[in-house]
Amino acid sequence: DRQRSLDLFVQKVAWDDWTFRLESDNTLDASQCRFRQRFDGTTIDGSVALIQDSCSSRYRRFTMTVQTTF
């Protein structure tokens, strides 16, 4: 079960050689869940030994960079 993710950026060039960039990663704070089953022996026997249900989320990040040449 994976939620939608959204990465954005806005960039502006000013004063001929100054570049300003604002970035946002994982703006919607999406997470991903995984369900796994481990079996004793083969899967056809159907003997479940372990059930794993885990969710994880990538952090939300905002970045501003300024670039120019000297």
Give the residue, 67 or 55, on which the prediction is more confident: 67
> Encoding tokens for residue 55?
């969710």
| Residue 43: inside a domain | yes
Tell me if 48 sits within 8 A of 41, measured CB to CB: no
Cα dihedral angle (20, 26, 27, 30), rounded to 10 degrees? Answer: 180
| Residue 3: inside a domain | no
| Residue 1: inside a domain | no
| Residue 2: inside a domain | no
Three-state SS sequence of 38-50: EECCCHHHCCEEE
Query: Tens digit of pLDDT for each residue in 2-34?
Result: 677 789 999 999 988 899 999 998 888 877 788
* Predicted local distance difference test score (pLDDT) of residue 2: 60
- Is the pTM higher than 0.75? The answer reads no
| Residue 41: inside a domain | yes
What's the average model confidence in pLDDT over 53-63?
Answer: 83
Give the residue, 27 or 67, on which the prediction is more confident: 67
The number of folded domains in the chain is: 1
Tell me if 19 sits within 8 A of 52, measured CB to CB: no
- Percent of the chain residues topping a pLDDT of 90: 30
Task: Give me the domain span that covers residue 15.
Answer: 8-67
